[in-house]
Structure 1
């Protein structure tokens, strides 16, 4: 009898002890998940590391920033965009912890749709928030979930206009324009956006060079009458130059973000061999030879693969805030968004590597559309734990007439906002002045600090 009791005791110990250990482990895991998923506790998570000062506003979570922390008011219960993005970040954080890796594109796209539908369940709350927005933002909200629009026109050559060659182009110039701005497009074609082979700025016309392609990005006019008129003209223009990429989306300031995503998608599918992309306005003047020189230096900067992966530069705004003036094209009311903006490069001109654009397209699938394109790019960058690098030779508006009249002045800049198509052509002609006189003129300091060069 004693032996039988001893045998049963051993069996109970062998079965119950492992079972109790497993239940205890499961309880700890569940408790950790519950604590981690609480919004107030995310910023206190012991494994979270803060981003560098150049990229404020995100929490590191593997290779992606899991949840914005500083640059927008996460606890705000009034701002429309804040509430939408809060739901996406909360659910993304849950998926990230459960899966142990980056959720796929299908999951992240579903999160965006789910956050909108979740808010729409309470129709009274949604209608109240939407009615508080200006009319143009009400229209914007109605189409926030749409990211695909038909292509009306594409460039004749592969990946834009440019001379055919065996090797891929170094640089693609992606220039934002509208159907009515024909004179600006012509000035770009006759100056810095000529395409084909471009010599690097090395003094005396010597040095290396590279192939450059060109494409103009645009939508359609809102007026049906103007849309029909310009449609025929744009087809004739594209037949002649072969550099137009047009989508069936209205060309309004608030649709700049959608056009940005449409371009990134087209670029991913069409431009496999391009190394860098310049995205800018048709009002800008660009010193293309100096740009080629800068990019070739970048290609030879060790380690090349690492620097190419994260490369983006321009005129950077740090710690920007929403414009609350209703008269501004960048007006964002408090009922739509509250908080700071992440660091972003001005939309006048931004230079990025091709690998980074493809990564930005991927991460954009978990960031709700924002009406200001340049800010939206900053929001996507911060979720990659990145921030654009400021380059002092990108001068959107702070060049004086006295500086411009100096000999060789155009040799010392990478970008400048022009007053007219004539002004753009004059600046380009300035690059052709006496090369002996301008041989020692270079653009302003490099974007890299002494620590990064080591």
Structure 2
């Protein structure tokens, strides 16, 4: 009886010891998974240094400008030749992979000979592709540029946040290689554009040059978007005011060459932000220049279904994919004589 009692007590002790050993081993195993070996917990001083480093790190939406970004694909001679100085320089914003988009634009609204009464020059502005696609796209872009001679590739990553840099570098190219262009059109690739109406009804080539001129769809006293994750999110630390100055919507606006050069000059001292249309508005405010109203309802920032007669009285409609433009373009080119006059 006594022997059975001792055996029972010994079994309990051994079981307790075994459980304790398992708990110790499991604790060590979890520690090895979650922390580097042989390191003691970080001291408060280390945490302080980490916080200090984070505080000094630039905001992800802060742009480096002015900066010497190189022109990797370039055509300095684009505005030269037997024709006179360009009446209109088109700077079309595209991404490196948009080979098919650019080809449709060349064949439709980006055709340089579409308005025969004036000289139009077109350049596609693009940055660098993501590293994982760089090798494949490099040869494709070089081949495209050899065939068409209209790519302006700049040495920074092509992202939405860098759109301001694309516009500024397009203006830098204009200042260096095409300073006598009378007007500059900044336009995105996902639009329908009517160059004839733009030239004949907005820019008036037979009239005197318009100096401090910029027009498009004008946004007045709009509010910064403060919701994180929104496409147009503006952190208060980058822009603290409650209202933006007047600016022309980014899908497309046109400005005089002289004003483009002035904007480029003042951009050297205005803090660059990632919303390029708002940034141009900040430069205009610095210059004391107000956008000029265009004919009402001619720059549409939101999609409108195609209508032959209506589109002949518009400059631009945002939200058109290149396949749609290619599909409707033959009809758009037909005579609009049957359309009622306004």
Task: From the superposition, tell whether residues 433 and 292 of structure 1 become closer, same or farther in structure 2 (CA, over 3 Å).
Answer: same
Contact 1:253/1:329 (8 A) holds in 2: no
- Cα deviation per residue 1:30-72 (whole Å; 9 max; x = unaligned)? xxxxxxxxxxxxxxxxxxxxxxxxxxxxxxxxxxxxxxxxxxx
- Which residue of structure 2 lines up, in the alignment, with residue 420 of structure 1? 321
The match for 1:263 among 170, 184, 187 is: 170
| CA-CA distance at 1:314 after TM superposition | 0.3
- Which residue of structure 2 lines up, in the alignment, with residue 51 of structure 1? none
Q: Does 1:138 align with 2:65?
A: no
The match for 1:194 among 90, 111, 122 is: 111
- Which residue of structure 2 lines up, in the alignment, with residue 168 of structure 1? 85
Distance of 1:424 and 1:126 partners within structure 2: 52
Contact 1:155/1:238 (8 A) holds in 2: no
Contact 2:86/2:120 (8 A) holds in 1: yes
The match for 1:394 among 295, 299, 311 is: 299
Task: From the superposition, tell whether residues 331 and 355 of structure 1 become closer, same or farther in structure 2 (CA, over 3 Å).
Answer: same
- What secondary structure does 2:330 align onto? helix
Distance of 1:315 and 1:281 partners within structure 2: 14
Distance of 1:427 and 1:129 partners within structure 2: 52
| CA-CA distance at 1:230 after TM superposition | 1.0
- Which residue of structure 2 lines up, in the alignment, with residue 159 of structure 1? 79
Contact 1:173/1:278 (8 A) holds in 2: yes
Contact 2:191/2:321 (8 A) holds in 1: no
Task: From the superposition, tell whether residues 249 and 295 of structure 1 become closer, same or farther in structure 2 (CA, over 3 Å).
Answer: same
Q: Does 1:362 align with 2:283?
A: no
Matched residues, number: 291
Contact 2:76/2:177 (8 A) holds in 1: no
- Counting only pairs closer than 5 Å after superposition, residues 13-92 of structure 1 correspond to structure 2 as none
Q: How large is the Cα RMSD of the aligned pairs?
A: 2.5
> What TM-score comes out, normalization by structure 2 length?
0.78
Runs (4+) of structure 1 moved beyond 6 Å?
123-126
Q: Does 1:239 align with 2:140?
A: no
- Which residue of structure 2 lines up, in the alignment, with residue 212 of structure 1? 120
- Cα deviation per residue 1:269-297 (whole Å; 9 max; x = unaligned)? 11133111110101111101111213552
| CA-CA distance at 1:327 after TM superposition | 2.5
Contact 1:156/1:243 (8 A) holds in 2: no
Distance of 1:311 and 1:342 partners within structure 2: 16
| CA-CA distance at 1:431 after TM superposition | 2.5
Task: From the superposition, tell whether residues 185 and 145 of structure 1 become closer, same or farther in structure 2 (CA, over 3 Å).
Answer: closer
- What secondary structure does 1:383 align onto? helix
Q: Does 1:177 align with 2:94?
A: yes
Task: From the superposition, tell whether residues 375 and 130 of structure 1 become closer, same or farther in structure 2 (CA, over 3 Å).
Answer: farther
Structure exhibiting the larger radius of gyration computed from Cα positions: 2
Distance of 1:418 and 1:441 partners within structure 2: 26
- What secondary structure does 1:255 align onto? helix
Distance of 2:269 and 2:206 partners within structure 1: 31
Q: Does 1:148 align with 2:148?
A: no
> What TM-score comes out, normalization by structure 1 length?
0.60
The match for 1:352 among 237, 255, 258 is: 255
Task: From the superposition, tell whether residues 272 and 234 of structure 1 become closer, same or farther in structure 2 (CA, over 3 Å).
Answer: same
Contact 1:172/1:274 (8 A) holds in 2: yes
- What secondary structure does 2:133 align onto? helix
- What secondary structure does 2:312 align onto? helix
Q: Does 1:288 align with 2:189?
A: no
- What secondary structure does 1:246 align onto? strand
Higher helix share: 1
Task: Please list every run of 5 or more consecutive structure 2 residues that lacks an aligned counterpart in the other structure.
Answer: 1-48
